[in-house]
Structure 1
Amino acid sequence: MNRRLIARLDVKMEHLIKGIHLEGWRKVGDPKARAKLYYEDGADELLYIDVVASLYGRNNLSGIVRKVASEVFIPITVGGGIRSLETVREMLSVGADKVAVNTAATQDPDILRAISDTYGSQATVLSIEAKKLTTGGWEAMTDNGRNHCGRNAVAWAVEGQKLGAGELLVTSIDQDGTGRGMDTALIAAIAREVDIPVIASGGVGNPRHVVEVLKNPDVSAVAVARDLHLGKHTLADFRNACLDAGIEMRRLERELAA
């Protein structure tokens, strides 16, 4: 099975931003232009997260997604402020393929079942923002990592699958934006307990970090943000490192023609 490289684009209003530990954001580009660039550079999917949606009670990405979906031909996942079937319908109608739900699912877990029953599990992603506990294990956080919900991250992943999630997006708050490597223990702890694809996010600082995570056969994809946005590495760098390590990846047409 081919593993996936996903370009993650965190958006505040109309700006592509990046922070550390899901806070301290700074503007790093245009979320529409970067999406097209990453598509052309070989991203397998795009992941948009509206980082202030929970504060304002709605997702503001429909305009961006509509524009991008007309220019790229890979799956698009949208997260942030997904609180109702109406919001899901809106996002899918403008071109998203999947929605990622975090805060609303912790408050009303049945929303996962409702989305899955209405649009299919393939369109239903449970987003888990996990923070390491001093006592061991990880807690799932909400509202872009700002608030506690009292749920154990691993147990919540298992419950999310039972409720109809077809995929998990697991973000390490501790590693996010640091470039110091991913929380492989967190990702492994969740991936071995579920039977659905797991996307690892948070902490990528070089291609070796991606290889490290994808060597785990239970991990399906890695979402990369910081290194792409700051121009430190390209998607080709990550893909080639994975291929060199024997990890199955989609080969681009230009590579096959070479």
Structure 2
Amino acid sequence: MKKIVPCLDVKDGKVVKGIQFVGLRTMGDPVEMAAYYSKNGADELVFLDIAATTEARGTMLKWVRETAQHVTVPFTVGGGVKTLQDAEQLLEAGADKIGINSAAVHHPSLLKEIAEKYGSQVVVAAIDAKQAAPGKWHVMIQGGKHDTGLDAIEWAKEVEKLGAGEILLTSMDSDGKKDGYDLLLTKAVVDAVAIPVTASGGCGHPQHIIDVFKETNVAAALAASIFHEGTHTIQEVKHLCQEQGVRVK
């Protein structure tokens, strides 16, 4: 059963959306939008705090607490998680899972620490990948600004070994372009690991979600623009999936 997951990028307490991580537009209030999606068919939600500053931590915890009171589906929170304490605060505020990206590259043992204390099911390794050569992708960190030189496929295998329970895979090349998911990248990562992978980056039409489900063995498809802009609803996407033989939750 495949899952449809709206993604809410949050900056300064507001949901924003850009293209390839830049040119941000304000879309709305995270708690209100999360409550709407929870009531209208979302299987899970992902929040990425893209400001992720220490100063914004209090604001972040506030909306996480409020969201936990208004949604009935599991939600992941990522952005700026650097320590076990950061993860603990978010889990105590009501988050179900913690997304870790840059900090996992700098301190791989962090994934292990969180998994050992809370279980692998709460650890989501967020991998932002950018094509470096045909069939080869590098792991990008710091909001896609820094190329680590790490091979994304090898890194996916490594985070699985370290205790991540799932991977949130974003194609930097496709992000915000609405041309569809990077199927080659997604398939390469899915085939390399045993843990569930969520595809992210590039969804501009329900057919893109159907394509990624049919062409790869991803567990979930993440989308933002098509839902935030009201172009399509989650129920509409699920209906189309079922019409084309894709089993969704």
Q: Does 1:199 align with 2:183?
A: no
The 5 Å alignment of 1:37-48 reads: 37-48=36-47
User: Structure 1 residue 136: deviation in Å?
Assistant: 4.3
* Contact 1:58/1:82, CA 8 A, preserved across alignment: no
> Who is 1:242 aligned against?
241
* Contact 1:76/1:98, CA 8 A, preserved across alignment: yes
Once the two structures are aligned, what percentage of the paired residues are identical? 40
Q: Would you identify which runs of 4 or more consecutive aligned residues in structure 1 move more than 3 Å? A: 55-60
CA distance, structure 2, for counterparts of residue 135 and residue 214 of structure 1: 23
> Who is 1:159 aligned against?
158
Query: What 5-or-longer segments of structure 1 have no aligned partner?
Result: 251-258
User: Structure 1 residue 67: deviation in Å?
Assistant: 0.5
* Contact 2:242/2:248, CA 8 A, preserved across alignment: yes
CA distance, structure 1, for counterparts of residue 19 and residue 216 of structure 2: 28
> Who is 1:113 aligned against?
112
Structure 2 CA distance for partners of 1:246 and 1:237, relative to 1, 3 Å: same
Alpha-carbon deviations, 1:152-206, whole Å to 9, x = none?
1111000000000000000011111111111011100000010000000010011
* Contact 1:58/1:81, CA 8 A, preserved across alignment: no
CA distance, structure 2, for counterparts of residue 209 and residue 227 of structure 1: 11
> Who is 2:230 aligned against?
231
Query: What 5-or-longer segments of structure 2 have no aligned partner?
Result: none
Alpha-carbon deviations, 1:41-95, whole Å to 9, x = none?
1100010000121x55874521111101111111010000111110111000111
Aligned to 2:126, the other structure's residue is in SS state: strand
Structure 2 CA distance for partners of 1:175 and 1:57, relative to 1, 3 Å: farther
CA distance, structure 2, for counterparts of residue 217 and residue 226 of structure 1: 22
Q: Does 1:82 align with 2:81?
A: yes
User: Structure 1 residue 31: deviation in Å?
Assistant: 1.1
CA distance, structure 1, for counterparts of residue 119 and residue 180 of structure 2: 33
CA distance, structure 1, for counterparts of residue 221 and residue 207 of structure 2: 12
> Who is 1:255 aligned against?
none
Instruction: State TM-score, norm by structure 2.
Output: 0.96
Two-structure CA RMSD over aligned residues (Å): 1.3
Aligned to 1:61, the other structure's residue is in SS state: helix
User: Structure 1 residue 243: deviation in Å?
Assistant: 1.0
Instruction: State TM-score, norm by structure 1.
Output: 0.93
Aligned to 1:222, the other structure's residue is in SS state: strand
Structure 2 CA distance for partners of 1:242 and 1:135, relative to 1, 3 Å: closer
